[in-house]
Structure 1
Amino acid sequence: MLTMATLWLMTHETLNRRAPLRLLTTFDHYYRLLMQRHFVLPALSIGSGVGGIYTLSIALPFVLIYRLRLSTFSFGLVMMFQTGSYITGSLLANRLLRLHSLTSIIRLGVSVIALGGILFLLLPHLCVPAVWVWISPAAIWVFGNALVAPGLTSFAMERQAEKAGSASALLGFIQIGIGFLDNTLLGSFYTDVAQGTAWLVPMSAFIAVSCGLASKRA
């Protein structure tokens, strides 16, 4: 209620003039965006990376709490390591943006994502079940996503001056949609959450890396 009251009383419209809703124009914008490789490729790369994060947020409690018997308090502490990894990646990306091109940072980021995907594919199958088997690749995964996010978002939005709102909305929808798809696949086709995660996250990594590397050539 407090949030709603704050938005109602203190948040002002950026466009004072009320414009009628034009659904056909809006859908036309979305269609045109989906036909543009220079938008779709970075959007799919970001969406696959974020979708992997959403998958981990659903899967890790089952793996770490129910299978490895972590307490909820210990689980919270362990997840802080993943959060800290994302913050560190964001800070590093901010620093690297001053020194290197977007393309080079994206290449670094997708390389880190690829490493995280490979570790998710190998460690759960080759190592004795342990917390580090899951948290290490998860931390690497979110670190790589933090590195690529600024560059890929810029690539997706750089030619969308006339339909920036639609592009931004579609970019967010793709991220949420891929996350929903991943979790639907995880719940529908895998009785073992750990096994499903060990396959779905590497597949997301493959899409994220492929589209991320191809986005600059679009």
Structure 2
Amino acid sequence: MTDNVANRPLVRSMPLGLQVAVLAALSASGTLATNILLPSLPEIATAMNVSSAKVTSAITVFLAMFAAGQLVVGPVSDRFGRRAPVIAGSAIFFAGSIWCALANDLPALLAGRVVQAAGACATSVLSRAIARDLFNGEKLARVLTFVMIAMAAAPGFSPLVGGALDHVFGWRSAFAFVAIFAVIAAIAYCFVFGETHHATRAPLDLGAITSGYRSLSTDRRFVVPAATVSLILGALFAMFSALPRVLIEGLGFTPLQLGLFFAGTVMIVFSAGIIATRLVPRLGLDRSIYLGLVLACAGGALVLLCALLNGGFLPFLAGSCVFLLGMGMVNPLGSAQALSPFGDRAGAASALLGFWQMLAAALGVSLAAVIAKDAMIGLGLVLVLASIVAAAAYQIRRRG
């Protein structure tokens, strides 16, 4: 890959930490917009006179649009550069956030969420492309590691921010917060980076793009680990969407307490990543991933058992922690396994993996809301089902 830093003296003069911070902010926009409103779901449902299960559709439509948009943004940025899509995406994200903040009924909120997701997918996806434009080798690996940490931290810490905003200002303030975040991130991007794609612009050839995605979708080296990771991530988002009903409505938590619970999940996921990197040299990649899948299955089973036996918060917490530990191992290792054979098609493989992940997340959120009247039982069923199917799918690779 050609090092473009020399062509961008402004970028070269900026501290690496500042560049990473801006890329992290861009990458976290999607998960920030998704999870910051989770503590407010019950209040939104009351304000709009709908059930909490119905208002979770605000998560589903966002994830569905976010998934589809990734398949479009990558080729567009290869043709027109990074600057225009990032700025346009930030503007669309801002407009969608304000739309949501002003919504007075569920259809208006859902429409705003679709607009919001259309903008967020551009900034989130292109953060990785910008990093590839500017860095290579070990520096690229370090930068992308910090970007992935930001993407993992945003779902954990954003509910804490959302819970505090909800407590002080009400649920609409969360959308105002992400609108301001979008403006700041866009200004920082323009100041620190600007245009970074100086290589030959690829034409927008729909046939070639479709053929590339079709080829990946029939290659078992990609399909098996990508499907495994997507199923586990779908279960994770089902947990995120169900927790407000489980903890606030079922166990009497406040929105701020729910935010603290989410913040705690970040530490578990980080710990799982550290454990995974240490296990791989000893067990190998396949066995390490399968160990994570076993933990995810066990954690899901504990959550379901707790729900069926009315076990209370501590057993639920134990099951959730075990599942998160397994998920935190499977997600980075499985993603690396899905992308590593396709260095010549890394962009397409990354976009397709992201599409599958967000599509599975949308399905997981929807299923958790409708599979059972009791929120904890519904969550337990989704965790068990997704984890077992993921483990069974991964056996195809182990036996291949």
Is the pair's TM-score, using the shorter chain for normalization, greater than 0.5?
Answer: yes
The residue number in structure 1 matching 2:237 is 54
Equivalent pair of 1:85/1:140 in contact (CA under 8 Å): no
The residue number in structure 2 matching 1:214 is 396
Give the counterpart letter for 1:197 in structure 2: L
Alignment of 1:33 with 2:216, yes or no, is: yes
Q: Which range is displaced more, 16-25 or 138-147?
A: 16-25
Q: Distance in 2 between matches of 1:149 and 1:53?
A: 10
Equivalent pair of 1:44/1:207 in contact (CA under 8 Å): no
Task: Report deviation, 1:183.
Answer: 1.4
Q: Could you tell me the percent identity over the aligned residues? A: 25
Equivalent pair of 1:48/1:208 in contact (CA under 8 Å): yes
Task: Report deviation, 1:102.
Answer: 0.8
1:118 maps to which of 287, 293, 301: 301
The residue number in structure 2 matching 1:89 is 272
Gaps of 5+ in 1: none
Q: TM-score, normalised by structure 1?
A: 0.90
Q: Distance in 2 between matches of 1:17 and 1:6?
A: 26
Alignment of 1:72 with 2:288, yes or no, is: no
Over 3 Å counting, the alpha-carbon distance change for 1:186 and 1:145 in structure 2 is: closer
Give the counterpart letter for 2:296 in structure 1: I
1:197 maps to which of 375, 379, 389: 379
2:366 maps to which of 184, 191, 213: 184
The residue number in structure 1 matching 2:336 is 154
Give the counterpart letter for 1:172 in structure 2: G
Alignment of 1:21 with 2:213, yes or no, is: no
Alignment of 1:101 with 2:284, yes or no, is: yes
Q: Distance in 2 between matches of 1:187 and 1:98?
A: 40
2:200 alignment partner, SS class: coil
Q: Deviations over 1:146-170 (max 9, x none)?
A: 1122331232113212221111111
Q: Looking at both structures, which has the greater relative contact order when contacts are Cα pairs under 8 Å and sequence separation is at least 6? A: 1
Equivalent pair of 1:63/1:194 in contact (CA under 8 Å): yes
Equivalent pair of 1:78/1:135 in contact (CA under 8 Å): no
Give the counterpart letter for 1:182 in structure 2: G
Q: Which range is displaced more, 25-34 or 91-100?
A: 91-100
Equivalent pair of 1:155/1:215 in contact (CA under 8 Å): no
2:381 alignment partner, SS class: helix
Q: Distance in 2 between matches of 1:200 and 1:101?
A: 29
2:246 maps to which of 60, 63, 72: 63
1:18 alignment partner, SS class: coil
1:66 alignment partner, SS class: helix
Higher helix share goes to which structure? 2
Task: Report deviation, 1:88.
Answer: 0.9
1:60 alignment partner, SS class: helix
Q: Distance in 1 between matches of 2:202 and 2:222?
A: 27
The residue number in structure 1 matching 2:321 is 139
Q: TM-score, normalised by structure 2?
A: 0.51
RMSD between aligned alpha carbons?
A: 1.9
Task: Report deviation, 1:31.
Answer: 0.7
* Aligned residue pairs, count: 217
